[in-house]
Amino acid sequence: MVRKIPKRSTTRRLHRFLGAGAAVFIVFMVLSGITINHSNRLGLAQGRVSQAFLLDWYGLEGPEYIHSFAVGNDWISFAGSQLYFNDKAVSTVTSGLGAVASHGMLVAAGSEELILIDNDGQLIERIPWTSRGAGPIESIGLLADGSVVVRSAGQFWSADAELLSWQRAGDTVNTRSWSIPGSAPAILQQHIVQHYRGDGLSLQRLLLDFHSGRIFGSVGVVIYDLLALAIGFLAISGLVLWLRGRRNGNRKR
Amino acid sequence: MTRCKKSILIIVMMSLPTLVSAASVYETQMEFLSRAFGEPQPTPNIIWLSGERKSSVQQMLGHDYPAMRLRYWCQAKRSAWVLEEIGKELPITIGVIIDHNYIQSLRVLTYRENRGGEVATPAFSDQFNGVALGADGALAAKIDGISGATLSVHALTRLANMALFLHAETGCTDGS
């Protein structure tokens, strides 16, 4: 007697085909979804992407300008709105103007704030300037006695050694020097550009774009939609196959 | 640039509103100090975050405070602090006035995140008024959260805790 080979239904074949195709996608979506749910705890919002090909893919470019100031053996650089101590990002800054060394501290001036850094590039303090009611800072320098002087709205202001309090310094001041930009080494500028580009793309954003398909543009979103529909089909076809199998089992009994 | 890359760039720009969102300034530092002390204002003092003090602050915030020293203003056992803490991605600047180890006022000075700005409303921040540190070093009162602003609420709660701790560290209550 010839054994009859059961004919596979279209639903079963489609279920198997789509199930195998969607398996990798489902696993990825589950893992990325769980990771996104815990992104704050994992610090993904603060983490930055550094891979050049991903930054290129997103079209993230370097800063419009890098202004560097030699302070002793170190460089203070302003790249866009970011302040760097050598190649280390220290803080954001508004329109960087210059930097000086005074009483064991480095003092970087933006138009709206002064940023104090120690000799290892650690942020000591951020001093808001315009919130004092003064105009924007125009330049920073050193007085003959080594204390910091700032020109703001055409007026000169000098500080005590700890930069705690500021006094008007008269219409003319005996300055040792004003901070002027210099030419930082090319390798340092390259590191700054690389870091600056990476700062614009968080790990959380990258993961969200992978999870939604946006990383591949509008085509990626459509593909993800189709895969989502395939998963929906799998749920329904799985239910149909289960019910059909159950019914056939009852008949045999 | 290909059309595909252009479309991705547009999506990225749309999905990163925090990069272009403007900060909301509710009160400048000068206005805050005027509210705290009137005129003339006391000269600022400095407290360094180092050693055990740094560890304590790190424990309260869950990370190092992004500065090695803080300035504060102290007069007649009242101190005023301008502190910053990241809510989700950007720093929130707050002004805290502490009177005899109790928070007299906590206000958001500048809010930079694009969501969760409800923490700047007095309806929320007034919850901190009269709060002190408990025996365990945490706030002695429970601060009600705001749906959709959880991270900002936590950030302000941590800063309130830190301000009370630093006030005690300065000895401002002793009149120094």
- DSSP result, chain B: --HHHHHHHHHHHHH-GGGTPPPEESS-HHHHHHHHH-SSPPPEEEEE--HHHHHHHHHHHSS--S-SEEEEEEETTEEEEEEEEESSSSEEEEEEEEETTEEEEEEEEEE-SSS-GGGGSHHHHGGGTT--B-TTSSBSSPPP--TT-HHHHHHHHHHHHHHHHHHHHHTGGGT-
* Inter-chain residue contact B67 with A123, CB threshold 8 Å: yes
- Span A218-247, pLDDT tens digits: 888 888 888 888 888 888 888 888 888 887
pTM, two decimals, is 0.69
**From CA B86, how far away is CA B88, in angstroms rounded?**
6
Q: Which residues contact B5 (CB under 8 A, 6 or more apart)?
A: A57, A59, A217
pLDDT for the residue A2: 54
- The enclosing H or E element of A238 equals helix A217-252
Q: Which two tokens stand for residue A207?
A: 């993961």
* Inter-chain residue contact A57 with B5, CB threshold 8 Å: yes
B2, B5, B7, B12: best to mutate for the A interface, most A CBs within 10 A: B12
- Span B121-141, pLDDT tens digits: 999 999 999 999 999 989 999
Q: Are A172 and A178 in contact (CB under 8 A)?
A: no
* Inter-chain residue contact B12 with A131, CB threshold 8 Å: no
pLDDT for the residue B16: 43
Instruction: Answer whether A125 touches B (CB < 8 Å).
Output: yes
Whether the ipTM is more than 0.85: the answer is no
